[in-house]
């Protein structure tokens, strides 16, 4: 299989290279750029010297047509305009940006502040939340890879919402991410002196993942209520932890709640349910495609605390993109994704 990566020099692209390098079915990886054609990939990332010394290539429709799968790790606002220019019926397109996630393109323009992709392309795309949309994913040619925050949030609360064990209204989600989630373009917010020894809340009630989470809840449960979703930047490189607070329906026990996860994720190799713990850390999933989930029911308030941890660059981006590729191409779901967590 021949695959291509557009936006290869970003952190998502770099992680795709790392993971695809160990994929048993990937014969060739082509790396594309819109601005650095001819520059060696290892010149951008010296740790890949002798491994990926190949020059970055220009993006052309002819080159893309020779590939089985193309991953787009571009900033939001680019892939939605680029895919129509390079589209062909034989290549699978997996977009890691937010351009194809929101079905309402006015919502996209309001929340992202960018020009939306053509409605036809958005309609054709399939939301690639693995484990929840698999039937559609397997038949898809265009995948809208979920965002990192939505992946952790949705995987951890959807089983409870779908089975009617918790209320849909008044859902509060507190989410924290490492700095790599902001990409590799320097900014004041990600400057060392701004991030080290500090935790920063940002985009209060304005984060673009809010409508994505609400849309997915409606898609998979048939119900939707506005959520409260807060995001924080913490002084670490990798990782996301989401803490969600939900009101449990009357009479529901913690045993029933855990059984819901077991029913939904019994055959999912990447979801690990961790029962009865007082500690859950991003370290335990670092560098992997795992999502670890635990819950705690407060008998005093009948309120449930749901905690999930993922690696934002793997399960939250490149890893789930490869998982989607495996489903579409008929490979083992774990192909290229069997890494042991880098705890330290």
Q: What is the mean pLDDT of residues 101-123?
A: 96
Catalytic residues, which ones? 148
Q: Within this chain, do residues 6 and 96 fall inside the same structural domain, yes or no? A: yes
135, 240, 255, 292 from 258: Cα distances, Å: 25, 22, 5, 13
In this structure, the answer to whether residues 302 and 167 fall within a common structural domain is: yes
CATH code for the domain in which residue 76 is found: 3.40.50.720
Confirm whether 333 is domain-assigned.
no
38 pLDDT above the threshold of 90: no
Nearest to 154 by CA among 121, 169, 132: 132
pLDDT above 90: residue 265: yes
155 with 119, same domain: the answer is no
Lowest mean pLDDT among 7-16, 97-106, 141-150, 208-217: 7-16
Q: Are residues 185 and 219 in the same domain?
A: yes
Over residues 186-237, the pLDDT tens digits come to: 777 778 888 889 899 999 999 999 999 999 999 999 998 999 999 999 999 9
Whole-number pLDDT of residue 139: 97
- At residue 186, the pLDDT reads 73
What percent of the chain has a predicted confidence (pLDDT) above 70? 99
Q: Is residue 154 part of a domain?
A: yes
Asked if residue 185 has pLDDT above 80, the reply is no
Q: 224 and 120 in one domain?
A: no
Instruction: Report how many domains make up the chain.
Output: 2
214 and 159 in a common domain: yes
Same domain? For 98 and 228 the reply is no
Span 59-71, average pLDDT: 97
- In a domain, residue 272? The reply is yes
Read off the pLDDT of each residue in 167-188 and give the average, rounded to a whole number. 87
- Look at residues 179, 172, 171 and name the one whose alpha carbon lies nearest to residue 196: 179
How confident is the model at residue 137, as a pLDDT? 98
CB proximity list for 11: less than 8 A, separation 6 or greater:
180, 183, 184, 313
* 282 and 164 assigned to the same domain: yes
Q: Are residues 196 and 301 in the same domain?
A: yes
CATH number of the domain where residue 238 is located: 3.30.360.10
Same domain, yes or no: 302 and 165: yes
Q: How far is the C-alpha of 340 from the C-alpha of 344, rounded, in Å? A: 12
pLDDT in the model for residue 187? 78
d(CA 196, CA 251): 45
Task: Write the pLDDT tens digit of every residue in 300-319.
Answer: 999 999 999 999 999 999 99
CB atoms < 10 A from the CB of 239, how many?
25
107 shares its domain with 177:
no
Average pLDDT, the chain: 95
Residue 179 inside a domain? The answer is yes
Structure tokens at 264: 């939904």
pLDDT at 224: 86
What pLDDT was estimated at residue 64? Answer: 97
Q: What is the rounded distance in angstroms from the CA atom of residue 329 to the CA atom of residue 158?
A: 26
- pLDDT exceeds 90 at position 120: yes
Range of the domain at 210: 149-312
Q: Do 162 and 39 share a structural domain?
A: no
Choosing from 124, 158, 184, the residue where a domain stops is 124
Q: Residue 37 — very low, low, confident or very high, per pLDDT cuts 50/70/90?
A: confident
């Amino acid at each position: 299989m021949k695959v291509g990566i557009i936006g290869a020099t970003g952190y998502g692209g770099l992680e795709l290279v790392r993971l695809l390098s160990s994929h048993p079915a990937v014969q060739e990886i082509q790396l594309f750029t819109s601005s650095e054609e001819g520059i060696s990939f290892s010149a951008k990332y010296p740790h890949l010297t002798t491994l990926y010394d190949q020059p970055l290539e220009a993006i052309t429709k002819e080159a893309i047509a020779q590939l089985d799968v193309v991953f787009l790790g571009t900033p939001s606002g680019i892939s939605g305009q680029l895919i129509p220019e390079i589209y062909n019926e034989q290549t699978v397109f997996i977009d890691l940006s937010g351009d194809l996630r929101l079905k309402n393109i006015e919502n996209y323009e309001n929340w992202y502040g960018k020009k939306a992709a053509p409605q036809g392309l958005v309609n054709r795309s399939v939301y690639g939340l693995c484990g929840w949309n698999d039937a559609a994913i397997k038949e898809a040619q265009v995948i809208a890879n979920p965002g990192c925050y939505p992946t952790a949030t949705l995987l951890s609360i959807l089983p409870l919402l779908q089975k009617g064990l918790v209320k849909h209204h008044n859902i509060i989600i507190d989410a924290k991410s490492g700095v790599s989630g902001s990409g590799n373009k320097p900014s004041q917010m990600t400057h060392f002196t701004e991030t080290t020894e500090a935790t920063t809340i940002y985009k209060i009630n304005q984060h673009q993942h809010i409508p994505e989470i609400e849309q997915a809840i409606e898609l998979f449960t048939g119900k939707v209520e506005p959520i409260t979703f807060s995001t924080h930047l913490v002084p670490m490189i990798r990782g996301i932890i989401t803490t969600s607070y939900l009101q449990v329906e009357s009479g529901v026990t913690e045993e029933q709640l855990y059984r819901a996860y077991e029913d939904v994720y019994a055959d999912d190799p990447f979801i690990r349910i961790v029962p009865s713990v007082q500690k859950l850390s991003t370290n335990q999933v670092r560098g992997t495609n795992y999502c670890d989930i635990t819950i705690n029911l407060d008998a005093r308030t009948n309120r449930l605390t749901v905690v999930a941890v993922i690696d934002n660059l793997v399960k939250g981006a490149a890893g789930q993109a490869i998982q989607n590729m495996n489903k579409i191409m008929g490979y083992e779901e774990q192909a290229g994704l069997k890494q042991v967590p880098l705890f330290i």
